Structure 1
Amino acid sequence: MTRSLHPFTLWLFALLTLPMAANAAGEAKTLNVLFIGNSFTARHNLSTVVKAMAEAGNPGLTFNRTDVIYGTLPLADANGEFDGALVIAIDASWLDNLLKRETPLSDGIAAVMDSSGRELVSNAPDVSRTLFHDRDMVRYLGGLGTTEDETGRAWSFAAASLDRHQLFVAFAKPSAQLFQWTTLHVVVSFVLPICMVIFTIVAIWLATDRMVLRWLLYLRRVTVVYAEGHYGFRPSRMNQAPSEFRVLGSAIEDMALAIRDRDGRLREALAEKTAMVREIHHRIKNSLQVVVSLMSLYGSGVPEGRDRRRFEQLRTRVNTLAVVNRILYEANDGSEVRSRELLRELGSLLEGAMDHNVLILVEADDVALPTDLAVPLALLLTEIVMHLGENRASLAPGPQALRLVIDCMQEADQVMLGIE
């Protein structure tokens, strides 16, 4: 009887019949080998199995002599004794058709070959025979080889061992396609790190600008506002800032409030001081005016002559002090006087005291004079003018009045007074 066997049913049949065959024939128990060929009956061990199967009364089989790949695995019982074998066989043509049907189209060529270089299976036999014909695949293990097909197209291939039975797998691909992305990969390998660095820098800059710089600029504007004296300003935008800047903004705001309170107290103290200084100058002026009045009243009884002239000079000196204190009283802060105003007031006073025998012209800069400098300067000017008035006859003979030009200017930290 002739039966056609499916490739994957053959191993089941062998699994059922092989233990009996092995026992009947008494063959060796180590059947762990792989056979590749085109005929079962051409193998000695298989013929022995078939013979044993016939002696055991198993039905005979007629084989169609197709190329197959089959293997056996010995099985042992609990005592380690041989208890049969597991056999598998695959139709090589069926496997080849399966690979062609299930494998997607590709320019890559894959082939399985034995140690002699004979091709067993390939996804493109016509091309693979040209590429791998009579090549020792051992030379290309771990390396890359080059070859050409019938059209002169360049191919690159590599080989790998299957570790058993001296079988090799070779894979080939057109060199142009294999290396067409090499330039792109090299460019990308250089450009990608640069792009990543640029992206990182931009990200850091944006994060720094949003999280740090914008709030530093805002705090700078806030401090400028506080520096201008606007202590009532409130940095409301700091509520949106990170916690560290919110704490810093709160500290700056508290500092501004403390400065505003201290500034208010200082202004109040300064106003009290100014009021007290003005009151002091006012009382000194009044006291000096009383003294001048008493001296005028007393001097009216002094006879004309040298004593009367000295008495008038004394009254002029006291009047000079009164003029200085009156100007200080009329000043806003009471701590300094303007040189131009002081010299004009003294000029009028001295012209009257000299009976208009002296004509005083003031050509002075408007220099701020503190109190401790204004009083000595006024007394010095009074003494000089009175001395010149006494010697008027030698300086300006005749009835013409003595003409004096008073100049005052400031150079660096010095005040210069000139009389011409």
Structure 2
Amino acid sequence: MLRFGRALGRKLGRPSVQGIRFRMGLAMAAALLPILILSANQTQVEFRRQAEERRLDLQLAAERSAVDAKAQIDSTTILLQTLAPEAAGFYCEPRLTALVSRLDSISGLRRFNEAGDEVCASRRSGQAADDAAASHVRDQDWFQRLRNGEEVVMARAPGAPDSLIVAVRSQRPLGAFQGAVAAVIPLSTLQPDISDPALPPGSQSAITDADGRILTSTDASAFAVRRAGGLKTWIQGIPRGEASLHETRNKEGRPHVYAATRLAGRDLFVLLSAPSSGLLSWARLNPIGVLLLPLAAWLTAFLAVMLLSERIIIRWLAYLERIAAIYARGRFSVRPVQAERAPAEIRVLARTLGVLGDNITRRDQALLDSLDEKDALMREIHHRVKNNLQIISSLLSMQQRAVSDPAARAALGDTRQRITALALIYRTLYQSDDIRAADSRAFLSELVGQLIAGEATRGPLVTSAVEADQLVIDPDKLAPVALWLVEAVSNAQKHAFAGRGGDLQVRFKVQGDTSVLEVQDDGPGVSEDDAAGVGRTLMTAFAKQLRGQAEIIDAPGGGSIARLTFPTPEAVVPSEGAGTATPSSR
């Protein structure tokens, strides 16, 4: 059950189940549900009517069945009452035998005195008749009842389970008990007829005594019930001259209806049994009219709604969904022209979608034109800033040549290098495909080349090598990096390569969230004077702008390493068509 609930939950969670088609079908099914309810109500009414008719048929059949058996018992009772006043004599036995031979419904006649001894009896039935009623009956219940004043008594014959004793009281003129006259009747002659066409199928009949014991029946199992005491309590409460109905379950647990009526006095009852009508019994008799036609109409309407919703609505919505997906990919030139064959509401939606595509196309074109204009302006601005910085650098170079003081010349040279680095940034920006950012690898390579080339004519040879990861970053983060590199290279040129030349290595590594820029020389190593210079102070300041730290340490093979460690700036995604890319480590 739990697996079924989970499978049903997954099924109801699918888009096809939550869509318009399913909901329309569900709504139509709910709208047509009253048809099924009305059909079920009619079936229930017909079932009740049928069940009531079956109960009435069973009750009337019980009364009809009792009529024949009652007439036979009444005629036997009248015969016995006629014989009761006669005294037993020499001709008693021949007379009783002669009567039995003329009556097919009686198998024996007997007369008993007040002590319960047999006085005479018919001999037509031979020994079987003698066994039907014992010679001494004074201790039997039916004889005691006659002695106590009852006029007519019926009981099963001792020694003959298939026979019934009908006995009447014989008394003297003053009312004193004189004995009894008894007739033995085969129970088979009293068996109610179940061939009545009015009886429900599966009906069975029986004759019972007042204690509910079956005397004779067509099927005894049909009268075995679950309730304690069987049918005794119900049978004893049946009014005289009326038939009564009772419904209960038999031993197998199946519902049965029982109809009973008194046969004679309070001793015998006719009992009929029939299976109770099931809820769908009428539907089984008329399945097409009661169940199949309403169900077919309901299913036809449901399937028609599902099919029509697919043809009229769903397929056009799916078509518009495909158009919208194309728009989502940036292709606004497609128009939903096929929707002109759709219903009016879908056509309106398609036209609205087409107008939306036109508006987006025009807006995108306007934005692209604006961006191109802005790009051109920004490139012009970067170009002018670069030119201005170049002019400043040229002026500083002229001033540097006019100054004779070595310290002043060095200070002006350092300043010119810093301005050159900034000018290089702006040149890189306006020459790149994307003016918002620059590629760190190309920029660092070009900057180191300019710094080394600028000093190549004024001293010994310095070789350089640049190894850099690619990282596209904005100018705000690139400027501190460039200025720190200028200070690190200038420091190496002043202290490591002065008067001797050497080899310079620049490494830029992007290590996830941390980036490392190193400048390594092969000079004499770190000295105490380096820690107090202006360059070292500027390097520390530029590192703080990047929220990093700067340090100068001895290289393992000799020389020193200036190292800048800082958080990796957020990579800028290049615009479409840009030639640069972010590093694989990012």
Cα distance in structure 2, aligned partners of 1:195 and 1:387: 95
SS state at 1:363 partner: strand
Name the counterpart of 2:490.
386
Segments of 5+ residues of structure 2 without an aligned counterpart are: 1-195, 201-281, 521-586
Cα 1:285–1:146, aligned 2, differ >3 Å: closer, same or farther? closer
Counterpart mapping for 1:335-354 below 5 A? 335-354=436-455
1:234–1:253 contact (8 Å) kept in structure 2: yes
Cα distance in structure 2, aligned partners of 1:405 and 1:254: 57
Q: Deviations over 1:370-401 (max 9, x none)?
A: 122222221122122222333326xxx99461
Cα distance in structure 2, aligned partners of 1:419 and 1:205: 74
Cα distance in structure 2, aligned partners of 1:282 and 1:405: 28
| Superposed CA RMSD | 3.0
1:337–1:369 contact (8 Å) kept in structure 2: yes
Name the counterpart of 2:347.
246
Counterpart mapping for 1:251-400 below 5 A? 251-303=352-404, 305-355=406-456, 358-392=462-496, 399=500
Residue 359 of structure 1 deviates from its aligned partner by 4.0
1:340–1:365 contact (8 Å) kept in structure 2: yes
Cα distance in structure 2, aligned partners of 1:182 and 1:225: 56
Match for residue 198 of structure 2 among 141, 145, 149: 145
Match for residue 316 of structure 2 among 215, 224, 237: 215
Counterpart mapping for 1:90-109 below 5 A? none
Cα 1:369–1:188, aligned 2, differ >3 Å: closer, same or farther? same
Residue 209 of structure 1 deviates from its aligned partner by 0.8
2:506–2:517 contact (8 Å) kept in structure 1: no
Residue 240 of structure 1 deviates from its aligned partner by 1.1
Q: Deviations over 1:104-154 (max 9, x none)?
A: xxxxxxxxxxxxxxxxxxxxxxxxxxxxxxxxxxxxxxx97379xxxxxxx
Give the AA of the match of 1:392.
A
Cα distance in structure 1, aligned partners of 2:295 and 2:489: 88
Name the counterpart of 1:124.
none
Cα 1:146–1:184, aligned 2, differ >3 Å: closer, same or farther? closer
Residue 258 of structure 1 deviates from its aligned partner by 1.5
SS state at 1:405 partner: strand
- Report how many residues are paired: 241
Cα 1:286–1:191, aligned 2, differ >3 Å: closer, same or farther? same
Segments of 5+ residues of structure 1 without an aligned counterpart are: 1-142, 148-180
Give the AA of the match of 1:254.
V
Cα distance in structure 1, aligned partners of 2:519 and 2:349: 61
Cα distance in structure 2, aligned partners of 1:279 and 1:332: 14
Residue 335 of structure 1 deviates from its aligned partner by 1.6
Give the AA of the match of 2:507.
I
Q: Deviations over 1:221-260 (max 9, x none)?
A: 1112222222222211111111221121122222221211
Cα distance in structure 2, aligned partners of 1:367 and 1:318: 23
Cα distance in structure 1, aligned partners of 2:329 and 2:516: 36
Percent identity between the aligned chains? Answer: 32
Q: Deviations over 1:30-65 (max 9, x none)?
A: xxxxxxxxxxxxxxxxxxxxxxxxxxxxxxxxxxxx
Give the AA of the match of 2:356.
M
Give the AA of the match of 1:275.
A
Cα 1:380–1:223, aligned 2, differ >3 Å: closer, same or farther? same
Cα distance in structure 1, aligned partners of 2:286 and 2:407: 119
Cα distance in structure 1, aligned partners of 2:388 and 2:399: 16
